[in-house]
Amino acid sequence: MKSIKTMSVKETGELLSVSTRTVYNMIEDGRLTSYRKGNSNRGNPHNITLDSVIDNIKR
């Protein structure tokens, strides 16, 4: 099984040169794919897939 590489919201924002709010907006509108461990309540951080970050760098 292939493991999925992920990044934090902060790391993603730094790499894309955007604010953390923009990263959350990108998750909401589907430009970034993220996963949360456990239930999706607040307090469980988003884990953003490296593939979706790379796709946004290429744009």
Residues linked to residue 48 through DSSP beta bridges, in sequence order: 7, 34
Query: Is residue 28, in this structure, part of any structural domain at all?
Result: yes
Distance CA 35, CA 57 (A): 20
Q: Is residue 36 within 8 Å of 44, Cβ to Cβ?
A: yes
Tell me, yes or no, whether 20 lies in a domain. yes
Element (H, E) at 30: none
pLDDT of residue 42: 67
pLDDT tens for 12-49 read: 999 999 999 999 999 999 999 999 876 656 667 899 99
Q: What is the pTM of this model?
A: 0.83
CATH number of the domain where residue 32 is located: 1.10.1660
Q: Per the domain annotation, does 1 fall within a domain?
A: no
Instruction: Place 4 in a pLDDT band, splitting at 50, 70 and 90.
Output: confident
